[in-house]
Amino acid sequence: MALLDLDQNSFKPSHRLDMHDLLEQWLPGLKVPKREEYMAGGRWARQSYYEALYAVASSILDDAECYMALKSHVQRVRFHKQHDPLPQPREEMDEENSDPEAGDKLRKAIENAKKKIAEADAVGKIAAKRLKEDEWKAKRESEYENSIKLYRESFDACAEVLSMDKLAFHATWFAEYYKRNYDALQIKSMFDNVMEDIDNVRYW
């Protein structure tokens, strides 16, 4: 529907494409309906333009089944035997031909990120233990606010590493830290939905 109703007003009339004719050329044997034929005064005014268009779309999908099956088979057989190496972060690659200055900046950013993560984990471990013992009291102690501050600093440090190397998340330390944050966000999302009684989350 979007393809047949393309807005071509920015083109001169002589430069506009007749999408109906193009599709009928590409799809021999199929008649693509035109909207004006299904409006008042058209030859098919009593019928639904959308039903006609849906019927054409269904016919295209039916005709394509053999092609899609062959395509899936070829892709599965071909890619099953390929062993392309996964892209590696720069810190794990041979830097013999890389820019030394850029490499130094990246190494310093990685060291800083790892340091920030370690600092946040050390304080966060203490805060988590005290939260289990007495949540009300723990949230008023310095470790609680400090752990939040340090974790945010570690996020910023990781973002800086990622800005220098888009594949940095493949590194083991980065992937582990990312997974921890992802798991934590999932747990928080479920907890909030239970507390706020969203949909059927409590039952689920």
- 57 alpha-carbon distance from chain centroid: 28
pLDDT of residue 111: 95
Asked if pLDDT for residue 80 goes beyond 60, the answer is no
- Cα separation, 151 vs 122, whole angstroms: 11
CB 143 within 8 A of CB 131: no
In a 10 Å sphere around its CB, with 0-12 CB exposed, 13-18 middle and 19+ buried, how is residue 177 labelled? buried
100 and 52 housed in the same domain: no
Q: Where are the beta strands (DSSP E) in the chain?
A: none
Structure-derived torsion over alpha carbons of residues 33, 36, 40, 46, reported in degrees to the nearest 10: 0
What are the structure tokens assigned to 199, written together? 């949909």
Q: Among 112, 195, 125, which Cα is nearest to 154's? A: 112
Banded model confidence at residue 197, pLDDT cuts 50, 70, 90: very high
151 and 171 housed in the same domain: yes
This model's pTM is above 0.85: no
Residue 154 forms part of a structural domain: yes
CB 6 within 8 A of CB 19: yes
- Residue that terminates a domain, selected from 23, 55, 80: 80
100 and 118 housed in the same domain: yes
Of the given ranges (61-70, 78-87, 114-123), which has the lowest mean pLDDT? 78-87
190 and 96 housed in the same domain: yes
- Residue that terminates a domain, selected from 80, 98, 131: 80
Asked if pLDDT for residue 71 goes beyond 90, the answer is no
Segment 153-169 mean pLDDT: 94
pLDDT of residue 162: 93
- Cα separation, 35 vs 63, whole angstroms: 24
132 and 178 housed in the same domain: yes
100 and 58 housed in the same domain: no
Q: How many domains does the chain have?
A: 2
Banded model confidence at residue 173, pLDDT cuts 50, 70, 90: very high
- Residue that terminates a domain, selected from 28, 48, 80: 80
pLDDT in tens, 90-126: 887 755 555 667 778 999 999 999 999 999 999 999 9
53 and 130 housed in the same domain: no
pLDDT of residue 145: 93
Structural domain harbouring 138: 90-195
In a 10 Å sphere around its CB, with 0-12 CB exposed, 13-18 middle and 19+ buried, how is residue 161 labelled? buried
pLDDT of residue 128: 92
pLDDT of residue 43: 86
Residue 114 forms part of a structural domain: yes
Inter-residue long-range contacts of 179-186, CB under 8 Å, 24+ positions, other chains counted = 181/155
Segment 49-78 mean pLDDT: 85
Residues contacting 195, CB < 8 A, separation 6+? none
